[in-house]
Amino acid sequence: MRVLLGSGGIRTEEQVKLYHDETANHFQGVDEVLFIPYAGADHDYYLERMQNFSAQSGIKLVGIHQSSDPIKAVEEAQGIYVGGGNTFLLTRDLHNNGLIESIRKRVRAEMPYMGVSAGSNVAGPTMQTTNDMPIVAPPSLETLNIVPFQINPHFFSGQTWKKNGDTFTPHHGETRIDRLREFHEHNQTPVLGLSEGTYLRWDGEVGLLIGGDATVFQSGKEPTIHASKTKFDGNLLPIN
Amino acid sequence: MRVLLGSGGIRTEEQVKLYHDETANHFQGVDEVLFIPYAGADHDYYLERMQNFSAQSGIKLVGIHQSSDPIKAVEEAQGIYVGGGNTFLLTRDLHNNGLIESIRKRVRAEMPYMGVSAGSNVAGPTMQTTNDMPIVAPPSLETLNIVPFQINPHFFSGQTWKKNGDTFTPHHGETRIDRLREFHEHNQTPVLGLSEGTYLRWDGEVGLLIGGDATVFQSGKEPTIHASKTKFDGNLLPIN
């Protein structure tokens, strides 16, 4: 398989360069990539913005929402890119357009898939490790299951801080680590917490971490931090 | 109606005192309050912790999970307190135990209801303005609808900051304001963003803000900030 999952939160010059390098490498030999903008509310606007950004990667995007038959668009696509936004919205529209099974089938048959943020969340068995607000109700939280673990994008450890003027004060909501521990009180699937600006390349058996560190959460165990270039198996156990 | 909704995030001495004052005032004349610990994973532990904390308010809590018939426990309760934790877990168990309608009926018949954090989220028509992770899938996102607006607890405006050692760096996930604007791209119900440590008293027609400010979000309008002691109607419009 050819799966590339990004955390999002790309801001520095170095992060932007890595984004374009990874995207170009991932879609090498693909003339046209099918873009799925369902995580945003305004599909035309989102497509245009991403077309401009992806031109720098040498990638041509076409919008699935401009096709009268989205399932056929997936069946005929040379590559798929699922953008970020709200994961509940994205998951609802993937289900309502009947795309879960068709995307899964194509990706398992070696079509390149790239997801960023919400687009990485839906690559796992469920979207249950999203950070997003449930602004709509999808018919199911089950997603593409093209990687056998869960993704938590925009991961960071520690407390949230608020800034008022020049003063920082702590926020007392649950930390990301609290939330993922709670996830494992009810679920067994391991979770990869991807720091902002990082990627996982997944070939169907081995995952390779690119651009920064990631934190692995296993049910009943302490989280572990892994550096860029770490390789993982499908249980998120590091491979030497 | 006698509804008291808290944001949570109570830490300072002043905030703790306000919590006990508001709780004592709200449950005046009530011998025993039915505590609903469903937002936590360990109901016995959670009950015990809250029994100890609430003793300082002069309140005696009994756990709904210790009753063989939770619907009957609600029907016979003199007051209900719904604690914080994970709103998806809480909503799932309220539905699965058939409690949505029975709690709503009792609260509409003047039984005092107090909710904190997740317990405030479920007081609105839906839990769709929670900050929590969907660690379980409730059968529906609809909730008690004992207040006609949505609650966003632990509200803060502005960006999230991370702390590494002594250095603060910005996090690039959506802000709370982004998330609530996205909510209003798909929903019309107004949202009350309660700052940590604040409360709303709701009598069925008028809401009174206590202990700090709150931010009101209306579909298609800019958010507005309101000081402690502001009164609101059911559309979250300030009352002079």
Interface test with B, best of A135, A152, A213, A215 (most B CBs within 10 A): A135
Query: Catalytic residue at A228?
Result: no
Q: Which residues are CB-neighbours of A136 under 8 A, at least 6 positions away?
A: A86, A88, A89, A92, B128, B186
- 3-class DSSP string for chain A: CCEEEECCCCCCHHHHHHHHHHHHHHCCCCCCEEEECCCCCCHHHHHHHHHHHHHCCCCCEEEHHHCCCHHHHHHHCCCEEECCCCHHHHHHHHHHCCCHHHHHHHHHCCCCEEEECHHHHCCCCECCCCCCCCCCCCCCCECCCCCCCEEEEEECCCCCEEEECCEEEECCCCCHHHHHHHHHCCCCCCEEEEECCCEEEECCCCEEEECCCEEEECCCCCCEEECCCCEECCCCCEEC
Give yes or no for residue A81 having a pLDDT over 90.
Answer: yes
Nearest to B41 among A156, A172, A182 (CB): A182
Give yes or no for residue A164 having a pLDDT over 90.
Answer: no
Interface predicted TM-score (ipTM) of this complex, two decimals: 0.94
Confidence tier at A170 by pLDDT (50, 70, 90): confident
How many angstroms separate the CA of residue B38 from the nearest CA in chain A? 13
Q: Which residue has the higher pLDDT, A80 or A173?
A: A80
∠ CA A125-A63-A150, rounded to 5°: 15
pLDDT at residue number B169: 87
pLDDT digits (tens, 9 = 90+) for A41-76: 999 999 999 999 999 999 999 999 999 999 999 999
pLDDT at residue number B165: 86
Catalytic residue among A117, A140, A171, A195: A117
pLDDT at residue number B166: 87
Q: Which residue has the higher pLDDT, A172 or A203?
A: A203
Q: Which residues on A lie below 8 Å from B135 (Cβ)?
A: 128, 179, 182-183, 185-187
pLDDT at residue number A76: 98
Give yes or no for residue B170 having a pLDDT over 90.
Answer: no
Cβ pair B171:A154 closer than 8 A: yes
How many angstroms separate the CA of residue A223 from the nearest CA in chain B? 17
Greatest CA separation for chain B: 53
Q: Which residues of B are catalytic?
A: 117, 132, 154
- Domains of chain B (ranges; CATH) run 3-239 (3.40.50.880)
Interface test with A, best of B182, B183, B187, B219 (most A CBs within 10 A): B182
pLDDT at residue number B22: 97
Q: Which residues on A lie below 8 Å from B83 (Cβ)?
A: none
Size of interface A-B (CB pairs under 8 A): 119
Q: Which residues on A lie below 8 Å from B86 (Cβ)?
A: 182
pLDDT at residue number A70: 98
How many angstroms separate the CA of residue B180 from the nearest CA in chain A? 8
Of A188-192, A216-220, B15-19, B156-160, the range with the lowest mean pLDDT is B156-160
How many angstroms separate the CA of residue A20 from the nearest CA in chain B? 19
Nearest Cα residue to B9 out of A163, A160, A166, A181: A160
Confidence tier at A77 by pLDDT (50, 70, 90): very high
Of A56-60, A188-192, B105-109, B163-167, the range with the lowest mean pLDDT is B163-167
Cβ pair A135:B183 closer than 8 A: yes
pLDDT at residue number B64: 98
Cβ pair B161:A159 closer than 8 A: no
* Residues on chain A bordering chain B, Cβ-to-Cβ distance under 8 angstroms: 8-11, 41, 86, 89, 127-137, 140-141, 154, 156, 158-164, 168, 171-174, 179-180, 182-183, 185-187, 196
Confidence tier at B214 by pLDDT (50, 70, 90): very high
Nearest to A173 among B11, B131, B168 (CB): B131
How many angstroms separate the CA of residue A236 from the nearest CA in chain B? 19
Give yes or no for residue A196 having a pLDDT over 90.
Answer: yes
Give yes or no for residue B181 having a pLDDT over 90.
Answer: yes
Mean pLDDT over A89-96 rounds to: 98
pLDDT at residue number A165: 86
Nearest to A183 among B128, B133, B141 (CB): B133
Is residue A129 within 8 A of residue A169, CB to CB? The reply is no
pLDDT digits (tens, 9 = 90+) for A123-151: 999 999 999 999 999 999 999 999 999 99
pLDDT digits (tens, 9 = 90+) for B83-140: 999 999 999 999 999 999 999 999 999 999 999 999 999 999 999 999 999 999 999 9
